[in-house]
Amino acid sequence: MTQSPTNTSYPNDPFQEEYYFFYGTLTHPPLLSRILANPHSPDLRPAHITGWPCMMWGDYPALIKSSPNDTITGLAYEVRSIRERERLVQHGTTAYRIEVCTIYFEDGTCTVGKTFVWDGDVDGLREGVFDLRDWLLQEKEFSVR
């Protein structure tokens, strides 16, 4: 089921703990901690998903549906409360929607989870690779707006 990131009420979606796969700025633990309003470093697990190649929307990565052979690496986080889920959705903006995906962990296990994918016209995207280090250098003073 696809959820619109602007809908934070989830009236027909009872909460259950589940993993979210991150591939861009949310792989930076201090940013994720701020978004989740959690003073502790989040427990992130190295992982990958398939079928979603990454393009760029300005300085930010955006996944689009494609061939099942496309693989994107990132980190997975187990969302443990409605509050955490709502904070992630609010951060995602209307440019992204939530999609179900299979998350493959480095240890060989996998689980069904969710990720944020591009919800706009692909003509607004360009080829490119997101580099967290480059993004952090551009941010200079890391802050969440």
pLDDT in tens, the chain (145 residues): 334 333 333 445 677 899 999 998 888 888 899 899 887 889 999 999 998 888 888 888 888 877 677 888 999 999 999 999 989 888 877 888 999 999 999 999 999 999 999 988 888 888 877 777 777 777 754 544 4
Domain assignment present for 121: yes
CATH of the domain at 113: 3.10.490.10
Domain of 66 in residue numbering reads as 18-139
Query: For the chain, how many structural domains are there in total?
Result: 1
Domain assignment present for 7: no
CB crowding 121-132: b at 16 or more within 10 Å, else e: eeeebeeeebeb
Centroid of chain to Cα 14: 20
61 close to 131: Cβ distance less than 8 angstroms:
no
Domain assignment present for 41: yes
Domain assignment present for 54: yes
Per-residue confidence (pLDDT) for residue 106, from 0 to 100: 95
117 close to 99: Cβ distance less than 8 angstroms:
yes
Domain assignment present for 11: no
